[in-house]
Amino acid sequence: MILKLLLNRNFILITALVLGFVYSDFTDFTQDYVFYIMALTISLSMTSVKTNSLFPLKDNIKPLIAGVILNYLIYGLVIIILLQFFEFTDNIYYGFIVIAATPPGAAIIPFTSILGGNVKYAIIGTLGAFISSIFITPIIIETFSSNAGSVDSIDLIFLMLKLIVFPVLVSRVLIHPRLEPITKNVRGRIIDFGFAIIIYTAIGLNRDVFFSDFSLLLKIGFVVFCSIFILGFVHKIFSNFIKLDSRVSIAQNLLLTIKSSGFSVVCALSLFGKEAAIPSAVLSVVVLIYLLYMNFMNRNQN
């Protein structure tokens, strides 16, 4: 029972959050490796998506487009609108822009299954948004951080190659029939601990801010809360109003609200420094709470 608890995904991630707050000494070491850890977790996360799930293409156009619209257009628009009501430093602002430009989180697919949603819809929507991020993410970041002289178009292109294109290609190798059994055995644990290290690093690097500038945290927390909880609530009401299939609604809700906090942490750290990672650190906390909340509500309804 103890071993089962220690290997539980929620326990691992919550432990990472707590350690980031109470003992951040290892962040000087882990921050040098978060980029590679993120690339590895993306590679393993994408092994759950089969290449042939895209075909026939005509049957998957709607979820492909939905993934892009929900994850980038609607979520990104909400973030940009909310930012107009607050004054943040440039780096915090850029950190939010990175979140808006971040692809969907890997947790969407397993949680769609847990919540009884349409898993294929979630897979296609996630894949569509993920692939389009190669082009959309650099455009969003460059457009809304034009005043940040340190950001170069070439740097953004190489970042997307290393964090999206290369991991996706590696994932195709990892699902080769000879490697797939091994991949399936280790995938879950490596992803869980990989994200835990990234979350620990993001929170640990900004630990002083969490304990000293509560007004800043409240403002960041409000923006993130609205972009996840309130947006998710509005989507649920709208889905009920138009009588959208409940299984599709669950998949869409997660595509709309769950960003890859690990990706946004790494991207913000790489482009703008540790201050820009503060919104992503808060995002990782709120995303985890939202997923636990969705799971709790689903159990009560059933």
- Per-residue pLDDT tens digits of the chain, which is 302 residues long: 777 766 777 788 888 888 988 888 888 888 888 888 888 888 887 787 777 766 677 778 899 999 999 999 999 999 999 999 998 998 999 999 999 999 998 778 878 877 888 888 988 898 888 888 888 988 898 888 766 555 566 777 787 888 888 888 898 899 888 999 999 898 888 888 888 888 888 888 878 777 777 888 899 999 999 999 999 999 999 999 999 999 999 999 999 999 988 889 888 888 888 889 899 989 988 988 898 888 788 777 76
Residue 291 has, within 13 A of its CA and on its CB side, a CA count of 26
- Give the pLDDT of residue 238: 96
Residue 211 counted as domain residue: yes
Provide the 8-state DSSP code for 56.
S
Interacting residues of 81 by C-beta distance below 8 A, sequence separation 6+: none
CA distances from 69 to 129, 235, 257 (A): 8, 13, 12
Phi/psi of residue 259, nearest 5 degrees: -95, 160
Residue 17 counted as domain residue: no
Residue 176 counted as domain residue: yes
Domain count within the chain: 1
Residue 38 counted as domain residue: no
Distance CA 225, CA 1 (A): 34
Residue 92 has, within 13 A of its CA and on its CB side, a CA count of 17
CATH number of domain containing 191:
1.20.1530.20
Residue 39 counted as domain residue: no
Phi/psi of residue 86, nearest 5 degrees: -135, 155
- Give the pLDDT of residue 148: 55
Give just the sign of the alpha carbon dihedral 75, 77, 83, 88: positive
User: Helices (DSSP H) in the chain: which residue ranges?
Assistant: 2-6, 9-22, 27-30, 34-45, 61-68, 75-83, 90-101, 108-114, 119-144, 153-160, 166-174, 180-205, 207-212, 214-225, 231-241, 246-257, 261-272, 278-301
Residue 11 counted as domain residue: no
Residue 85 counted as domain residue: yes
Residue 243 counted as domain residue: yes
Question: CA 121, 251, 99: angle at the middle one, nearest 5?
Answer: 110
Domain range for 189 is 49-301
